[in-house]
Chains A and B, each alone.
Chain A
Amino acid sequence: MNAERQQELQRLCFRFRNELIDLLYHIQTGHPGGSLSCTEILTTLYFEKIRQDPRHPDMEGRDRLILSKGHAAPILYIILAELGYFPKEELKTLRQINSNLQGHPCLHKTPGVELSTGPLGLGLGAGLGMSLSERLKGSEAYTYVVLGDGEIQEGSVWEAALAASKFQADHLIAILDNNGVQLDGTLEEIMPMGDIPAKWAAFGWKVLTCDGHDVKSISDALDKAVACKGKPVIIIANTVKGKGISFMEGKNVWHGKPIGEEDYKAAKIDLGGAPA
């Protein structure tokens, strides 16, 4: 990724953060912390890596992206709207009755969503099924699964990790949003995951790490992941929950708290813009 493209994508992330805060303030519900931590991850994947066509969401042989940490739906929707999967005007209907934008991603309501998620720990197994399907079809498509670090406390993630290793699913790439914070506190406080890279390596995965807020670092890791043969790959993307909003950073209370008026003003100052 050249410097110009890097700047372009970082600017895009900055704009998405602004749109996210505006949106969540407007609707007074939804999850800011985990959306902010995976903004660069999703932006890099969607704008730099995955082969999809918003005009043909069901295109055969496309790459898949599963947002397994489904509570980050707001940032996913902002990106899907930007890509043209649905009109941006729909964003303000998020979480409201009769909307196509559910609180958590819903396959049959929202174009561009590849799997309904929300209950944690299911995306990796489903992604493995997709990846093995593509292999059966002789396709070279990749399946990307974005996991939360709290999410990997679910046992089903490790069941899927074992199976992906057994089936040598080298077109399955997991990206861990390693923000260190879950709903009730830090991972250290609630359920320490110990040596996360060693755990995945022990399950037979190729493990890469990157700076999860640097689009070039993410992009480089994804290039290495695609080059890996014979085993599944996980990229541990080191991130900060609530990234970009100083008073939200690293704070578990901002997992799903509505944004009040004062918070909104402060957040917009952090984001370099006047309140809308």
Chain B
Amino acid sequence: MKKVAIRDAYGEALKKLGLVNEKIIALEADVGASTKSAVFGKEFPDRYFNVGISEMNMTAMAAGFALEGFVPFVNTFASFLTTRGADPIQCLIAYDRLNVKLAGTYCGLSDSYDGASHHSITDMAFVRAIPGVTVVSVSDAVETEKAVFALAEYEGPVYLRLSRAPAPVIYDETLKFEIGKGIVIKEGSDVTIIATGTVLHKALEAAKLLSEEGIEAAVIDMHTVKPIDRELIYSYAKKTGAIVTVEEHSIHGGLGSAVAEVLVQECPVPVEIIGAEEFAESGDYEQLLEKYGYSSREIGAACRKVMARK
């Protein structure tokens, strides 16, 4: 499977968007070469504001631009954006319902060699808890570009979760991306795997392995974690009777929590949540995914476990 780094896809998408929409501006906190916001900055120097290493000021400034009718894309590592930049995200951007797009890159363990200090496993929990903030987490390069354009069309604050890692390209250009609508990638009747972000391809691998054992797992790309696609979750809970969620994020407050919250209200079925339960460490990304529970083998094991609980 061809791999493309999500961050590269993001940088190019933002530039493309800038060409057709002059209201787009970008803010950066000195990691533009990493987030790839610099690709936009090179094309549109007048609409690019590198504020240095000051994330809190960056998110506050974004509020000001949005209040004036611009559509700011705010760029830095997911971890720093949602910790150092958190206060204005909550107090200004969300409270004042501003049209700011918060692009947090290097999500999950994807900044693997930099270590746990640079990993981001709590970002979705924070932004998801804030009233009115939409949370989108993309799985490949094609979806990244579609999401960037969809965000610009959508009026309101959105957190866009991006990975550093080269990710297998799952979709082709025919992808129809709609905020709030999960995508069924593979049908199945025994169990449903709901994944978000680049670990989606691990879920697909797991489903393939399960299929060889005679277990048919449905696989859903839940790219919008909030507002979550309740109807799709109910429909697959009823159809398959068991659900496994996969996210490169803490098991507290992310996709697994969101799915479980919805299920207990209307259609309680057994759920297994795959995610982070501890801080990880430096290392090769694939090796980290393996060590910290994101291998297709472990996803498969979770499927068998949850099926036994039906």
Q: Which of B48-85 contact A (CB under 8 A)?
A: 49, 51-52, 54, 56-70, 72
Asked whether A132 and B92 contact (CB < 8 A) given A125-B56, A156-B87, A163-B54, the answer is no
Measured CA separation A125–B88 after assembly (Å):
10
**Does residue B278 face the partner (Cβ distance < 8 Å to A)?**
no
Asked if A126 meets B64 with Cβ closer than 8 Å, knowing A116-B92, A159-B57, A163-B54, the reply is yes
A114 vs B46: C-alpha distance when bound (angstroms): 25
Residue of B whose beta carbon sits closest to that of A129: B64
Q: Is the CB of A128 within 8 A of B87?
A: no
CB distance from B87 to the nearest CB of A (A): 6
Instruction: Compute how far the CA of A68 lies from the CA of B250 in the bound complex, rounded to whole angstroms.
Output: 35
A130 and B92 form a contact (CB under 8 A): no
- Say yes or no: is B297 at the interface (Cβ < 8 Å to chain A): no
A143 to B69, CA, bound (A): 15
B47 within 8 A of A: yes
Beyond A115-B63, A132-B64, whether A125 also contacts B46 by CB under 8 A is no
Cβ of B97 within 8 Å of any chain A Cβ, yes or no, is yes
B67 lies within 8 A of A125 (CB)? no
A146-171: CB near B (< 8 Å → 1, else 0) gives 00000000011001101100110000
Q: Indicate if the CB atoms of B63 and A163 lie closer than 8 Å.
A: no
Does A63 make an interface contact (CB < 8 A)?
no
**Chain B contacts for A106, CB-based, 8 A:** 95
Contact for B97 among A108, A115, A125, A143, CB less than 8 A: A108
A134 to B97, CA, bound (A): 20
Is B91 an interface residue, CB under 8 A from the partner?
Answer: yes
Among A133-148, those with CB < 8 Å from B are 133-134, 136-137, 143
| Chain B positions within 8 Å of A115 at CB level | 63-64, 67, 92, 96
Residue among B56, B58, B65 making CB contact with A132, cutoff 8 Å: B65
Does A131 reach chain B (CB closer than 8 Å)?
A: yes
Determine if B96 and A125 form an interchain contact, defined as CB atoms under 8 angstroms apart.
Answer: no
**Nearest Cβ on chain A to B259's Cβ, whole angstroms:** 31
Decide if B60 touches A125 in the complex (CB within 8 Å).
yes
Q: By the criterion CB–CB under 8 Å, are A126 and B67 in contact?
A: yes
Question: Which parts of B207-232 form the interface with A (CB within 8 Å)?
Answer: none
A115-B92, A125-B60 known; A163+B52 contact, CB < 8 A: yes
A124 and B92 CA atoms in complex are apart in Å by 12
- Summarize B's interface: helix, strand, loop or mixed: helix
Q: Is A212 an interface residue (CB 8 A)?
A: no
Query: A119 touches which one: B25, B70, B87 (CB < 8 A)?
Result: B87
With a cutoff of 8 Å between Cβ atoms, the chain A residues found around residue B97 in the complex are 108
Q: A108-B97, A163-B54 are in contact. Are A122 and B60 (CB under 8 A)?
A: yes
Given contacts A108-B97, A129-B60, contact A118 B91 (CB under 8 A): yes
Residue A107 interfacial (CB < 8 Å): yes
**Which of chain B's residues has its CB closest to A125's CB?**
B60
Provide the bound-state CA to CA distance between A26 and B257, in Å: 46
Which residues on B sit within 8 Å (CB–CB) of A33?
none
A126 touches B69 (CB 8 A): no
- Cβ-defined contact, B60 with A160, below 8 A: yes
Expressed in whole angstroms, the minimum distance between the Cβ of B217 and any Cβ of chain A is 45
Known: A126-B63, A129-B63, A159-B56. A136 touches B70 (CB 8 A): yes
Q: Does A34 contact B (CB under 8 A)?
A: no
Instruction: Decide: B52 and A162 in contact? CB cutoff 8 A.
Output: yes
Do B68 and A129 have beta carbons less than 8 Å apart?
A: yes
Q: What's the Cα separation between A130 and B47 when bound, in Å?
A: 13
Contact B92 A122 (CB under 8 A): yes
A143 to B16, CA, bound (A): 32
Kindly identify which residue among B25, B57, B66, B70 contacts A125, using a CB–CB cutoff of 8 Å: B57
* CA gap between A125 and B60 in the complex, in Å: 5
> Could you tell me which residues of chain A, from 92 to 123, have a CB within 8 Å of some CB in chain B?
106-108, 114-116, 118-119, 121-122
**What residues of B have a CB within 8 angstroms of the CB of A137 in the complex?**
68
Contact of A108 among B68, B69, B96 (CB under 8 A): B96
In the complex, A167→B70 CA distance in Å? 17
Find A134's partner among B58, B68, B92, B95 (CB 8 Å cutoff).
B68
Cβ–Cβ contact B67 & A130, under 8 A: yes
When distances are taken between beta carbons in the complex, the residues of chain B under 8 Å from A134 are 68
A133 to chain B, nearest CB (A): 3
Given contacts A108-B96, A132-B49, contact A163 B61 (CB under 8 A): yes
B68 to chain A: closest residue by CB? A133
B70, closest chain A residue (CB): A133
Residues of A within 8 A of B51 (CB): 159, 163, 166
Chain B min CB distance to A125 (Å)? 3
Q: Which residue of A lies closest to B29 (CB)?
A: A159
Q: Is there an interface contact between A122 and B91, defined as CB atoms closer than 8 Å?
A: yes
CA distance A133 to B23 in the complex (A): 10
A127 interface hit (Cβ, 8 Å): yes
Q: Are B62 and A129 in contact (CB under 8 A)?
A: yes
Collect the chain A residues with CB atoms within 8 Å of residue B67's CB.
107, 114-115, 126, 129-130, 133
Give me 9 A-to-B residue pairs in the complex whose CB atoms sit less than 8 angstroms apart, sorted by A's number.
A107-B95, A115-B63, A125-B60, A129-B67, A129-B72, A130-B65, A133-B64, A136-B46, A159-B52
Q: Which 7 A-B pairs have the closest CB atoms?
A: A129-B64, A125-B60, A133-B68, A159-B57, A159-B54, A129-B61, A130-B64
